[in-house]
């Protein structure tokens, strides 16, 4: 017969201090593990949701991002002449030739950081419906004006509507603050592409973005662009492009978080083993009585392992509860692909919850198996003599 679960719960409750301390140690490890996973998921969500699956991004072959890409004017004209872009409200192709450059701005907290400045075309806003103006207006074409992402406005000094920002050697007037629903565009500065090209003495675009009139024909359009030997360009869905932008940084965050969690978990497992060994040592006569009542070695083993798993689960739930509060925090880091400031939030998803709880149960099992094995191997007579 199996030990009732209530028995294991009662024994954990009897050793309140040891139980709380051990569970707290495991909770700290799970917090670190979950936090790193939430950071990675938040970064992926921010960048993946930046792109639309109906939009196509065209950049130079071999380029890893728009920063190191170049699309000449005649190449952009050839791509637009394919006639695959959906029409805009005025009947012109819904496409935009864009430029992406980096500038250094002073942070509110001190120091400086790179900021992405996007030179936009007349249809850039139409291609990104998630971008909306929350204060002021969009910059006029042909004028030295900029709209600044809400994340930039919060984190960089002097970024207020009506003020100015220096881009290279030119002063641009800040005419609006834009919000992009937590996507990467909230961490960009937008201005007229032609003005940015003049300011930075840049003769070529970084990318061409257009919306497909028939999304199911993407493969045909991609083959036409990449198969033309004159163009040396590549095309991919905008959502795919932004997903790739997150891969390197997300991998770094996951590896760093896993390394820290594994390092801390050693201490948590040792704490669990000490707690469970103490439980076995203090309940020797009780274990002998259970054996005398007919509970087999396997039942004793499983009972103590159940206690360790409950301990690990309690720590996991506490760590997840603490980590869930990070969803209200926005952090910023340097995107490894563009080397520019990127703000994003922690994202607690089902994958993070499942992995964190499995990790906490693994710690509980690792800490409780040896003490449980010791308890199951006790001699009945010798255990009863300690009563």
Structure tokens at 248: 């390197």
Confidence of residue 295 (pLDDT cuts 50, 70, 90): low
Query: What does the H/E/C string look like for 223-248?
Result: HHHHCCCCCCEEEEEHHHHHHHHHHH
Residue range 108-122: mean pLDDT, rounded: 90
Q: Are 256 and 61 in contact (CB under 8 A)?
A: no
Predicted confidence (pLDDT) per residue in 366-376, tens digit: 887 787 777 76
- What ranges make up the beta strands (E) of 123-184? 132-136, 145-149, 164-167, 170-179
Instruction: Please check the confidence at residue 61 and state whether its pLDDT lies above 60.
Output: yes
Predicted confidence (pLDDT) per residue in 131-178, tens digit: 999 999 999 999 999 999 998 998 899 899 999 999 988 999 999 999
Q: Would the CA dihedral through 372, 377, 380, 383 be positive or negative?
A: negative
**Cα–Cα distance, 220 to 77 (Å, whole number):** 18
Confidence of residue 1 (pLDDT cuts 50, 70, 90): very low
111 Cβ partners below 8 Å, 6+ apart?
Answer: none
45 Cβ partners below 8 Å, 6+ apart?
Answer: 182, 344, 347
Helical (H) or strand (E) element with 263:
helix 238-282
DSSP class of 153: H
Query: What does the H/E/C string look like for 72-117?
Result: CHHHHHHHHCCCCECECCCCCECEEEEEEEEEEEEECCCCEEEEEE
Query: What Rg do the C-alpha atoms of the chain give, in angstroms?
Result: 29
Q: Are 118 and 98 in contact (CB under 8 A)?
A: yes
Predicted confidence (pLDDT) per residue in 252-266, tens digit: 777 777 777 777 777
Of 175, 159, 150, residue with least CA distance to 332: 150
150 Cβ partners below 8 Å, 6+ apart?
Answer: 134, 177, 178, 179, 180, 186
Q: Residue 304 has what pLDDT?
A: 76
Kindly report which listed range (12-21, 94-103, 119-128, 203-212) carries the lowest average pLDDT score. 12-21
**Cα–Cα distance, 40 to 345 (Å, whole number):** 10
Predicted confidence (pLDDT) per residue in 177-218, tens digit: 999 888 888 889 999 999 999 999 999 999 999 999 888 888
Average pLDDT, the chain: 83
């Amino acid at each position: 017969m199996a030990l009732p679960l209530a028995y294991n719960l009662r024994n954990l409750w009897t050793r309140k201090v040891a139980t709380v301390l051990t569970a707290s140690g495991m909770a700290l490890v799970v917090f670190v593990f979950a936090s790193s996973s939430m950071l990675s998921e938040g970064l992926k969500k921010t960048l993946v949701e930046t792109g639309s699956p109906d939009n196509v991004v065209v950049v130079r072959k071999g380029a890893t991002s728009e920063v190191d890409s170049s699309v000449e004017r005649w190449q952009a004209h050839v791509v637009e002449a394919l006639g695959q872009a959906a029409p805009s409200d005025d009947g012109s192709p819904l496409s935009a030739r864009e430029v992406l450059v980096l500038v250094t701005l002073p942070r509110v907290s001190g120091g400086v950081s790179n900021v992405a400045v996007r030179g936009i075309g007349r249809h850039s806003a139409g291609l990104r419906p998630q971008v909306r103006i929350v204060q002021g207006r969009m910059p006029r074409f042909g004028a030295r004006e900029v709209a600044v992402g809400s994340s930039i406005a919060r984190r960089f000094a002097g970024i207020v509507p009506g003020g100015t920002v220096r881009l290279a050697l030119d002063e641009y007037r800040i005419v609006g603050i834009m919000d992009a629903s937590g996507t990467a565009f909230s961490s960009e500065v937008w201005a007229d592409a032609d003005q940015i090209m003049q300011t930075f003495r840049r003769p070529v675009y970084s990318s061409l973005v257009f919306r497909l009139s028939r999304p199911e024909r993407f493969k045909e359009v991609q083959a036409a662009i990449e198969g033309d030997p004159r163009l040396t360009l590549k095309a991919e869905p905008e959502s795919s492009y932004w997903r790739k932008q997150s891969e390197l940084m997300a991998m770094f965050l996951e590896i760093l978080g896993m390394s820290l969690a594994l390092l801390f978990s050693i201490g948590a497992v040792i704490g669990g083993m000490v707690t469970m060994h103490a439980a076995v040592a203090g309940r020797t006569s009780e274990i002998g009585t259970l054996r005398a009542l007919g509970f087999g070695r396997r039942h004793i083993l499983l009972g103590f392992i159940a206690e360790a798993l409950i301990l690990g689960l309690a720590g996991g739930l506490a760590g997840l509860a603490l980590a869930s509060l990070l969803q209200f925090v926005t952090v910023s880091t340097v995107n490894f692909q563009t080397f520019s400031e990127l703000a994003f939030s922690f994202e607690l998803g089902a994958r993070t919850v499942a992995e964190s709880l499995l990790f906490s149960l693994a710690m509980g099992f690792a800490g409780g198996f040896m003490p449980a094995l010791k308890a199951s191997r006790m001699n009945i007579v010798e255990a009863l003599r300690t009563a």
